[in-house]
Amino acid sequence: MTVKYTEDHEWVRVEGGVATVGITDHAQEQLGDVVFVELPDTGQTVARGDASGVVESVKAASEIYAPVSGEIVEVNQALVDTPGTVNSDPTGAGWFYKIKFSDPSELDGLMDEAAYKAHAGG
Amino acid sequence: MTDSPNLKTTPLTALHESLGGKMVPFAGYMMPVQFPLGVLSEHRHTRAKAGLFDVSHMGQLRIDGHDAGSRLETLVPGDIVGLGTGRMRYTQFTNADGGILDDLMVTNAGDHLFVVVNAACKEADTALLKGSLGKAVVELPDRALLALQGPAAEGVLKTLAPAAAEMAFMTYAAMDVAGIPCFVTRSGYTGEDGYEISVPADRAATLAEQLLAHPDVEPIGLGARDSLRLEAGLCLYGHDIDTTTSPIEAALTWSIGKRRREEGGFPGAVRIQSEIANGPARRRVGIKPEGRAPAREGTEITDADGRAIGQVTSGGFGPSVDGPVAMGYVETGFAKDGTAVQLVVRGKPMPARVTRLPFVAPGYKRG
């Protein structure tokens, strides 16, 4: 299992051919209290960089961009009713969706933890 | 924190930083957008107990002279001459087209008027006032302004100023608070009971610390200030009202007294009187999205067929409503309470209803 990161402050946990996607602790901290989450549909096909969800705090709305191309195989429906989970457990129970990726080489374009920490400002 | 050489501070900036306030630029000042409690909890705490807000960035002015009221009436549609001693009123500076230059609070402090204007507009407002009223207008840069808001505000403030408990909503009194000479009004911008306290700048941090020492009081940032005033249906200048909106379109007709409606004598009176008589083409209304998705400022409002009928001017999540809330302008034909409309959020039409403001019942202490 590896965890990678995008420039848009998403984490991507890769297990087998499936990547679980969420937003980082840094991202939830910056957003503040999350009050609304919109998820993609299971079965939907997305291309890398596609808007594939929305996370909104009291202050602002942010889109979630697909870190890799593939098919959405599962979404975290619980977030719709309890969006605050994104704040309390961003890298665990606050995951957004799972994507069965179609091009493993796209993973190479993501950051590792050290590179992400530098990107997020330490 | 980013360098911000051109941003001003308030007498409470150091206190905000020591309390863990997240400082952001706002109207030329570094201001706390939230404290460690977070916007949701700060909002709910204010509605449940009491919140302390630093509003020192707002402009405070005095207008001297026995004719201050009649002279100010040449710039605002509110009835200032009829404002009794110790009473305050909400009004707007209007322009010749009947648009709104700023909104303000005017208090009859006996031998002068005490005026509070928005931070972003205060230089223009001061120039407008001085241009028209001359030397009678005195800026009060050495005063800070604190707002203590919420149902526990009275219980908190009376421990430092017993006389504050006797005040009615929208009244003023000069009094010592914790031994510091202050101007106190029973007012605010959250929809809750509460006070605004004008305090000498060099004593402001001391007073704030004494208020915060009460277990019912938490420091509150601009984020919750915005969600509180939105739920209360109150306008934010530069968003819900500006030079393109008239007070009538903005549903502020209540703030224009009968005599002023009849007599006019304020900038833009022709348009404003005509809109009072004939109705405006559009109106500010509350809008309740039916789903959970917030509709932000700038969101297009359409009718059931997708025809654009207006725009959201303030929108977000209402922590006390526990759902999205918005306000905006719609064509008058759609302004009736309960009218079904659509909000175009990220390209998708979302069902919503026009609704009466405010979204939460006010907690004002009527006299």
Q: To the nearest whole number, what is the mean pLDDT of chain B?
A: 97
Is B315's pLDDT higher than 70?
yes
Residue B298 near residue B246 (C-beta atoms within 8 A): no
Mean pLDDT throughout A83-91?
Answer: 97
Tens of pLDDT, residue by residue over B48-105, are 999 999 999 999 999 999 999 999 999 999 999 999 999 999 999 999 999 999 999 9
Which fold does the domain B281-355 belong to in CATH? Elongation Factor Tu (Ef-tu); domain 3 (2.40.30)
Name residues 82-121 of chain A within 8 A of B (Cβ): none
Q: Could you check whether B13-53+141-231 and B281-355 share the same CATH topology?
A: no
Determine, for residues A54 and B346 on separate chains, whether the beta-carbon distance falls below 8 Å: yes
Determine, for residues A35 and B33 on separate chains, whether the beta-carbon distance falls below 8 Å: no
Torsion of CA B3, B5, B10, B15, to 10 degrees: 30
Tens of pLDDT, residue by residue over B206-232, are 999 999 999 999 999 999 999 999 999
Tens of pLDDT, residue by residue over B225-255, are 999 999 999 999 999 999 999 999 999 999 9
Contacts of A36 in chain B (CB under 8 A): 292-294, 317, 324
Q: How far is A58 from chain B (nearest CA, A)?
A: 6
Tens of pLDDT, residue by residue over A43-74, are 999 999 999 999 999 888 999 999 999 999 99
Q: Which two tokens stand for residue B318?
A: 């209402």
List residues bridging with B311 in a β-sheet. Answer: B300, B329
**Band (B4; pLDDT cuts 50, 70, 90):** low
Q: Which residue of A has its CA nearest to B291?
A: A36
- Domains, chain A, ranges and CATH? 2-102 (2.40.50.100)
List residues bridging with A49 in a β-sheet. Answer: none
Is A107's pLDDT higher than 90?
yes
Contacts of A51 in chain B (CB under 8 A): 346
Residue-by-residue DSSP string for A43-99: T-EE-TT-EEEEEEESS-EEEEE-SS-EEEEEE-THHHH-TTHHHH-TTTTT--EEE
* Chain A interface includes B26 (CB < 8 A): no
Q: How many CA atoms lie within 13 A of B327 on its CB side?
A: 26
* Chain A interface includes B315 (CB < 8 A): no
* Chain B interface includes A78 (CB < 8 A): no
Distance CA(B338)–CA(B290), nearest Å, equals 12
Distance CA(B134)–CA(B112), nearest Å, equals 14
Give the start-to-end residue ranges of the domains of chain B. 13-53+141-231, 281-355
Mean pLDDT throughout B262-283?
Answer: 97
Query: Which residue from B39, B296, B346 is facing A33, i.e. has the nearest CB?
Result: B39
* Chain A interface includes B92 (CB < 8 A): no
Is B2's pLDDT higher than 60?
no
Residue-by-residue DSSP string for B328-365: EEEEGGG-STT-EEEEEETTEEEEEEEEPSPSS-----
Q: What ipTM goes with this model?
A: 0.86
Q: Please state which CATH number belongs to domain B13-53+141-231.
A: 3.30.1360.120
